[in-house]
């Protein structure tokens, strides 16, 4: 009799264990942003479960892939796969995306799964789910990402965990039209913490997205990669672009993975490391339309924009790479980041920078020998840096050339910033 009781108890305990899942990140909703979040988080080294109440991803109607887009990261991977499949047979972009999901390690995708309850237990999240009408099961995780595009469908909002104010949750930071049109005039330099970019409703509208826009300011380890995030003051159509939401999702994945990976809170994610994760997986963080993406300078330009050392027209996506660099353009920011440079500017009261001046400035800041820099730059100018101009010390230096020089010898991108874009020195 005792033996039978032990067996029964063991079976009950086993059943209970089987009804539990433990993961690092839970993503609610297989929207374009939610799916990209799940893919990137898993690739960033944590365990992820993606939950979708319906039996399809991305909604009941197949999305159009013909949108203005930067072909990078997960979006490029998805579109390339979809295009290849179209070459041989008519297919659905949702099927192409799900084929990517199926090959990602550490990612489990539960379709036709109802989200019954969402609660915060201490530092963890507990989600009660029901698959195909079966018994209720529970999932525990450190980070929760809500990717439901309709506020009324959001399990987090329905549970009252956070509330909407004018259609948005309270986030660490807000992305407003002013942040796009006049970013350098704002008190907070949110553009320095950008982690995603993309087009709006058409090719005339460009966006960048600061990381704090998607992180709850009220509840730890809660993110929204949806219109309910801190996207304030815009029209609904201003973000009507599936490629842009995929890019946002890739950022969401990098951020949601940071906490479990480094055993900290999402809000404390290192901005530069998170941006680096986007770069590592072939994403981008700034909208630049006048630099060829295959150029050597592309990556350096992306990083230099994050430092303020070179200005960028965010609204138009123009870096103006062939403009000549004037001392007044870089004096203030270099004096802030490298106080020693103030002496150089005092001793060199010039109106425009020649290549010789640029090398002298870098040498003065870093202590590098001018002769060695000249030799290295002249060797790499065309072969490595792929610059069209000739290496001539008398030439006025352009923004593209100066960006490469700064990135090579100063690496201002290594100076950290917080979620508000303030330098951490």
CB 309 within 8 A of CB 333: yes
Q: Which residue has the tokens 């195909």?
A: 132
CB 43 within 8 A of CB 279: no
Would you mind telling me the total number of residues written for the chain in this entry? 425
| pLDDT given at position 132 | 80
Q: How many whole angstroms from its chain centre is CA 361?
A: 33
| pLDDT given at position 20 | 73
Strand 20-22 versus strand 194-199 pairing type:
unpaired
Report, as ranges of residue numbers, the positions in the chain whose pLDDT lies below 70. 1-19, 86-90
Residue 425 structure tokens: 């020195």
Residue 225 structure tokens: 């990669």
**Total-model pTM:** 0.93
CB 361 within 8 A of CB 344: yes
**CA separation for the pair 374, 378 (Å, rounded):** 6
| pLDDT given at position 21 | 86
CB 315 within 8 A of CB 335: no
| pLDDT given at position 89 | 62
| pLDDT given at position 86 | 67
Query: Percent helix, strand and coil across the chain, each rounded to 5?
Result: 40, 15, 40
Q: What is the DSSP letter of 89?
A: S
**CA separation for the pair 86, 168 (Å, rounded):** 38
- Please give the C-alpha separations between residue 283 and each of 110, 179, 279, 293, in angstroms, as whole numbers: 26, 22, 5, 11
Q: Which residue has the tokens 């201003």?
A: 238
The domain covering 21-281 belongs, at the CATH homologous superfamily level, to: FAD/NAD(P)-binding domain (3.50.50.60)
User: Helix or strand or coil: residue 377?
Assistant: helix
Q: Which residue has the tokens 């939401």?
A: 245
Sequence-distant contacts of 98-104: CB under 8 A, at least 24 apart:
98/57, 100/39, 100/74, 101/35, 101/38, 101/39, 101/50, 101/57, 104/38, 104/39, 104/42, 104/43
Contacts of residue 385, Cβ cutoff 8 Å, sequence gap at least 6: 296, 297, 404
* Partners of residue 28 on adjacent β-strands: 51, 146
Q: What is the DSSP letter of 319?
A: -
**CA separation for the pair 176, 230 (Å, rounded):** 8
Alpha helices in 198-270 (DSSP H): 242-262
**CA separation for the pair 28, 54 (Å, rounded):** 12
Alpha helices in 19-72 (DSSP H): 32-43
Contacts of residue 375, Cβ cutoff 8 Å, sequence gap at least 6: none
């Amino acid at each position: 009799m005792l033996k039978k009781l032990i067996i029964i108890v063991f079976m009950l305990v086993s059943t209970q264990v089987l009804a539990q899942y433990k993961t690092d990140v839970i993503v609610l909703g297989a929207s374009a942003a939610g799916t990209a979040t799940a893919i990137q988080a898993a690739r960033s080294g944590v365990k992820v479960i993606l939950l979708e109440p319906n039996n399809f991803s991305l909604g009941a109607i197949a999305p159009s892939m013909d949108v203005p887009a930067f072909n990078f990261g997960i979006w490029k991977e998805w579109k390339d796969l979809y295009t290849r499949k179209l070459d041989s047979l008519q297919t659905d972009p949702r099927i192409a995306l799900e084929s990517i999901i199926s090959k990602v390690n550490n990612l489990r995708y539960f379709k036709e799964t109802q989200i019954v309850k969402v609660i915060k237990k201490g530092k963890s999240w507990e989600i009660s789910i029901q698959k195909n009408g079966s018994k209720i099961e529970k999932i525990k995780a450190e980070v929760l990402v809500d990717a439901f595009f309709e506020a009324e469908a959001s399990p987090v909002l329905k549970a009252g965990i956070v509330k909407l104010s004018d259609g948005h949750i309270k986030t660490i930071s807000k992305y407003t039209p002013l942040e796009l049109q006049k970013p350098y005039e704002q008190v907070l330099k949110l553009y320095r913490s950008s982690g995603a970019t993309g087009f709006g409703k058409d090719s005339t509208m460009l966006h960048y997205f600061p990381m704090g826009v998607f992180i709850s300011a009220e509840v730890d380890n809660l993110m929204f990669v949806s219109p309910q995030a801190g996207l304030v003051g815009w029209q609904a159509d201003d973000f009507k672009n599936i490629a842009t939401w995929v890019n946002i999702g890739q950022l969401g994945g990098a951020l949601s993975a940071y906490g479990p990976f480094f055993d900290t809170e999402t809000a404390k994610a290192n901005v530069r490391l998170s941006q680096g994760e986007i770069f590592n997986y072939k994403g981008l963080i700034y909208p630049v339309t006048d630099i060829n993406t295959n150029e050597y300078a592309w990556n350096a330009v992306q990083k230099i924009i994050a430092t303020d050392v070179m200005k960028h027209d965010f609204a138009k996506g123009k870096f103006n790479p062939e403009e000549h660099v004037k001392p007044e353009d870089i004096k203030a920011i270099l004096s802030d980041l490298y106080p020693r440079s103030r002496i150089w500017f005092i001793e060199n009261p010039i109106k425009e920078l020649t290549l010789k001046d640029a090398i002298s400035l870098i040498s003065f800041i870093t202590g590098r020998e001018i002769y060695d820099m000249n030799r290295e730059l002249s060797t790499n100018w065309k072969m490595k840096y792929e610059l069209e101009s000739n290496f001539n010390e008398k030439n006025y230096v352009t923004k593209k050339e100066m960006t490469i020089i700064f990135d090579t010898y100063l690496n201002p991108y290594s100076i950290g910033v917080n979620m508000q874009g303030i330098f951490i020195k």
